């Protein structure tokens, strides 16, 4: 029923580094007509923030579901939060800003962002910008044989902060309400 594609390429691409996040997993549990999916659900994914000479990062992720998301009455984004997976990271201030945009037919819709990151906090909720039904971000995808949501991520890294050479893995928790 579900096929997640998190795309990660850590090599510099022009003036950015490509990172992938399967944030689109926000709808992974909402693509079934079954009554058991009604309610609140969480999905988890991860991405790597790796130090580079550039101060920006960018990437994308996709989620494919086998059933038409319109088979449910609605899906609402409740929250998105970031957390450093490495316990040695005191806070997320090495990320100056981050933005998530759902893209359909070349049109980007900002769904969440955060700037600046709070000092001393390892778990940081993003500011939810999009408050309507998120099913519209899925489009029919003949290549996958299902319905796919595409999310672009972009942000800026604070190069004055120390980041381990191997990077910092970030955990993303997304919660949705399915009606």
Residue 9 three-state SS: strand
- What does the angle CA 19 – CA 139 – CA 124 come to, to the nearest 5 degrees? 40
Query: Taking the CB of residue 10, how many other CB atoms lie within 10 A of it?
Result: 16
Closest CA to 96 of 19, 160, 52, 18: 160
24-28, 36-40, 125-129: range with highest mean pLDDT: 125-129
Query: Taking the CB of residue 92, how many other CB atoms lie within 10 A of it?
Result: 26
For the cut 90, the answer to whether the pLDDT of residue 20 exceeds it is: no
Rounding to the nearest 10 degrees, give the CA dihedral for residues 120, 125, 127, 133: 180
For the cut 90, the answer to whether the pLDDT of residue 159 exceeds it is: no
Where do we find the tokens 């490495």?
86
pLDDT tens track for 95-107: 999 998 989 999 9
Closest CA to 20 of 53, 48, 55, 56: 48
């Amino acid at each position: 029923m579900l096929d997640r594609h998190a795309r990660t390429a850590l090599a510099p691409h022009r003036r950015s580094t490509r990172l992938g996040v399967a944030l689109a997993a926000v709808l992974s549990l909402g693509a079934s007509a079954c009554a058991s999916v009604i309610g609140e659900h969480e999905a988890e994914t991860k991405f790597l923030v790796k130090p580079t000479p550039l101060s920006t990062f960018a990437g994308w992720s996709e989620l494919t579901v086998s059933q038409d998301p319109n088979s449910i009455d609605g899906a609402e984004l409740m929250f998105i939060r970031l957390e450093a997976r490495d316990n040695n990271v005191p806070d997320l201030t090495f990320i100056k800003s981050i933005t998530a945009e759902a893209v359909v037919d070349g049109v980007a819709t900002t769904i969440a962002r955060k700037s600046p990151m709070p000092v001393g906090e390892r778990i940081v909720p993003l500011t939810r910008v999009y408050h309507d039904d998120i099913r519209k971000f899925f489009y029919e995808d003949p290549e996958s044989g299902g319905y796919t949501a595409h999310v672009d991520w972009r942000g800026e890294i604070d190069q004055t902060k120390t980041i381990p050479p191997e990077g910092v893995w970030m955990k993303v928790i997304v919660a949705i309400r399915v009606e």
